[in-house]
Structures are given as C-alpha cells and as structure tokens.
Amino acid sequence: MTTISIIGTGGMAAAIGSLAARAGHAVELMGRDAGKARALAEQVGPGTTTGTFGAAPAGDIVVLAVPYSVVVDVVKLYGDGLAGKLLVDITNPIKADFSGFLTPDDSFGALEIAKAAPDRANIVKAFNTQNSSVLATGPVGGHPLDVFIAGDDAQAKARISAFIQSLGLRPMDTGPLTMARSLEHACMLWLGLITHSVKHAYFSIGVSLQG
C-alpha cells in the first residue's frame, strides 16, 4: 500500500482518488476549499483523509490535480514541502479557447513545473490524456485504459508504473520528460477529435498492440 496525496478537488482528483482507494492505497486530499476537500474525501471512501492546503503532503507520491493556470503557483506555495516527493503532473497548458498553449514556445508544462519544484523532487507526466469520466469508469470490454508517462528518473517512472497498474490501468512509458511536450499536444489532439470527429468526450487515446 502506498500513500497518495492529491492536490485538487476536481474531476481528475475524484477519479484518481477513487481508483487509488479502491486499490487499497491510502489517499490524502488537499484543496484551497477545505469543505470541498472533506466532501470529496467522503465520496472517495472510508479512510480517505484531508490535509491542510500548502502544508507538506503525507504521501511520497503527490498528484498535481489543479488547472495548469495555477499549478506553478501551487508548487511554489508548497515549496520545500515537496522536496523528495514524486510529483505527478496531470495538467495540460492549453488556452481556454483551444487556440494554442499557455507555455513559452521553447518550453512545455511539465518543464515549467520542474523549474518551480524543489531540486530533490522528481517530476513524472501522467494521466493528462485521460478524461476524468472515462478514467472513473475504468476498463471497457476487458481492455485497460492506457496511461502515458514521461520522466527522467527511471526509478520514479517504475514507481508510477506500478501505481498505475495497481489501478487496473496500463502504463505506457514514452521516454524522458521532454516527451511531456508531445503528451500535452496529444491532449490537444483529443480536443480536436471531440470537436471535429467524435463529437463527445467519452473516449480515450490508447495503443492497440497487434500480434
């Protein structure tokens, strides 16, 4: 069993938290609105705890489940409380009108988070190509959902991969943290498919292995 701290109280926090609790992990939820965090803890399940927003998380794995527009400020607020933690970046730095990205042309979301994080924190990109409703539903037809990950630390990626597998999902390692840029573009692809082809959000991007 692993202790997972989730910063945020939205749909992705609910989906990941519920899957983690169901898999037997200890879950801590943290949000600016303490009332929302307590309500979500009740929804996630018995044994789920709430922490003080801005205080050092209890878990060694910390899921950053807040919008990209605030995530860098949140990481700075936590400061050294995140030192030595494995930070899971699930954000997408996409403009509200989907016209482009919020990051500088020579950067990407996970890199901006890494710049703001303490030196001893490890950053792994994961879950950013999944829709919260689809993620909460879990496997369909016996096929696990794919969770793409990217990071520079092999041990950190192994830990996240094991966590993802424990949720009944399939981790797919895409390479170093620089690949997070491509994963953020994959979310833009997902949004384009919603707008022009699929016409709804209830689908996921995954890998079909042949043979």
Q: What is the pLDDT of residues 38-57, one digit of tens each?
A: 999 999 988 899 999 999 99
Task: Give the pLDDT confidence score for residue 143 in this predicted structure.
Answer: 83
CA dist 169 and 126 (Å) reads 12
Task: Give the pLDDT confidence score for residue 137 in this predicted structure.
Answer: 87
Task: Give the pLDDT confidence score for residue 210 in this predicted structure.
Answer: 84
Q: What percent of the chain has pLDDT over 70?
A: 100
Task: Give the pLDDT confidence score for residue 209 in this predicted structure.
Answer: 87
Q: Which two tokens stand for residue 180?
A: 């997070």
208 pLDDT more than 90: no
Q: Where residue 141 falls among pLDDT bands split at 50, 70, 90?
A: confident
Q: What is the average pLDDT across 82-95? A: 98
114 pLDDT more than 80: yes
CA dist 207 and 16 (Å) reads 21
CA dist 94 and 92 (Å) reads 6
Do residues 118 and 79 make contact, with C-beta atoms less than 8 angstroms apart? yes
Q: What is the average pLDDT across 26-46? A: 96
Do residues 129 and 190 make contact, with C-beta atoms less than 8 angstroms apart? yes
CA dist 29 and 53 (Å) reads 9
Mean pLDDT over the full length of the chain: 95
Instruction: Tell me the pLDDT tens digit for each residue of 144-199.
Output: 999 999 999 999 999 999 999 999 999 999 999 999 999 999 999 999 999 999 99
3-7 vs 61-64, strand pairing mode: parallel
Chain centre distance of CA 99:
23
Chain centre distance of CA 64:
6
139 pLDDT more than 80: no
Do residues 92 and 184 make contact, with C-beta atoms less than 8 angstroms apart? yes
Q: What are the structural domain ranges in the chain?
A: 3-198
CATH 3.40.630.30 for the 3-198 domain, yes or no = no
Q: Residue 22: how many CB atoms within 10 A of its CB?
A: 15
Q: Where residue 134 falls among pLDDT bands split at 50, 70, 90?
A: very high
CA dist 198 and 192 (Å) reads 9
Do residues 92 and 109 make contact, with C-beta atoms less than 8 angstroms apart? yes
Q: What is the average pLDDT across 106-124? A: 96
